[in-house]
Amino acid sequence: MALQGLPAGLPTEGRELAGQVALVTGGAKNIGRAISLALAAAGAAVAINTLRSREEAEAVVQEIRANGGDAEVFIADIAHAAAVHAMGEGVMRRFGKIDILVLNASQRREMLFKDMTFEDWRSTMSITLDGSFHCIKACLPSMLANRHGNIITLGGDAVLLGGNRKSHNTTAKSGLVGLTRALAKELAEDGIRVNCVSPGSINTTRPAHRSARADPKGKIPLGRTGDAAEIASVVRFLCGPGGGFITGQIMHVNGGAMIFA
């Protein structure tokens, strides 16, 4: 099925993920939306998690269904174990299994470290790290039972480059990299692959509380910022047969920005 927002050249008729079920956290907007659409285009049924963006999530579901796919919205705060447990049970009732987990949800509020409270710090950790823990625990039994699965974490270039006004988020994303590598080793013998996709400067809709970002093009060899669909295409590849021998890796999608690092 052909879905809007996919990059030129991305196959939409292969349906290499047909019969699989994906749960995408923060799947309603920006990169999460693009990932939900890309996995649906590959044939997967998609459980779209959101906390506050129900209207946007329902719009993604309608787009997927209009193009012959299957999707459902699941409202849950992934920072809370009970909410994630209930969401996991809901996905299992609706779709019968979970093959793919994409950990995209995070909190991206910017602030100087000197102004940061412990509550600010813990709020970010609770979503990015604790939320990942809860979601993996909820999805892992299905993957272990089927001896098949893909877990994709979403990192960021600030993990290696540093992030001004982002010490909390950069620390949390660094933790995801460690979790990715540890679980890749631990779960390999169970047929479960774990990888991290690390976006660089991507064109997304920015909330009002985030500062205007300086034009980064001079620091990107390809001379432009990326599109959310270009992140989604890498996630789709890693979850498909082409990524079958890839695990424990951090896939940098940043137009070559790391060349200057």
User: Picking from 91-105, 212-226, 242-256, which range would have the lowest pLDDT averaged per residue?
Assistant: 212-226
Local structure of residue 113 (DSSP, 8 states): G
Does residue 15 sit within a domain? Answer: no
**Number of Cβ atoms within 10 Å of the Cβ of 36:** 33
**What is the C-alpha separation between 139 and 83, in angstroms, rounded?**
13
Question: Has residue 260 got a pLDDT over 90?
Answer: no
- 209 Ramachandran zone, left/alpha/beta (phi>0; psi -120 to 50): alpha
b/e for 1-14, b at 16 or more Cβ within 10 A?
A: bebeebeeebebee
SS3 235: helix
pLDDT score of 8 more than 50: no
pLDDT > 70: percent of the chain: 90
Of the listed ranges 75-84, 200-209, 215-224, the one predicted with least confidence: 200-209
Q: Residue 109: its pLDDT value, please?
A: 84
In a domain, 256, yes or no: yes
Distance (Å, rounded) from C-alpha 162 to C-alpha 164?
7
* Per-residue pLDDT reduced to its tens digit, 157-188: 888 888 788 899 999 999 999 999 999 999 99
- H or E element, residue 226: strand 226-227
- Could you give the number of structural domains in the chain? 1
Chain mean pLDDT for the chain: 91
73-132 pLDDT, tens digit each: 999 999 999 999 999 999 999 999 999 999 999 887 899 999 999 999 999 999 999 999
What integer pLDDT is reported at residue 2 of this predicted model?
47
28: in domain: yes
Residue keyed to tokens 């609706």: 94
Residue 14 lies in a domain: no
5 domain residue, yes or no: no
Least confident of 107-111, 190-194, 196-200, 216-220: 216-220
What CATH number is given to the structural domain containing 72?
A: 3.40.50.720
19 to each of 8, 42, 43, 98, 148, how far by Cα in Å?
A: 25, 10, 7, 10, 13
Q: Residue 158: its pLDDT value, please? A: 84
| pLDDT given for residue 14 in this prediction | 79
Structural domain including 43 reads: 21-205+213-260
How does pLDDT run across 36-63, given as a tens digit for each residue?
999 999 999 999 999 999 999 999 999 9
**12 part of a folded domain:** no
Distance CA 179, CA 194 (A): 9
Of 163, 255, 253, 165, nearest to 218 by C-alpha is 255
3-state secondary structure of 94: helix
Domain assignment present for residue 16? The answer is no
Beta bridge partners of 24: 48, 102
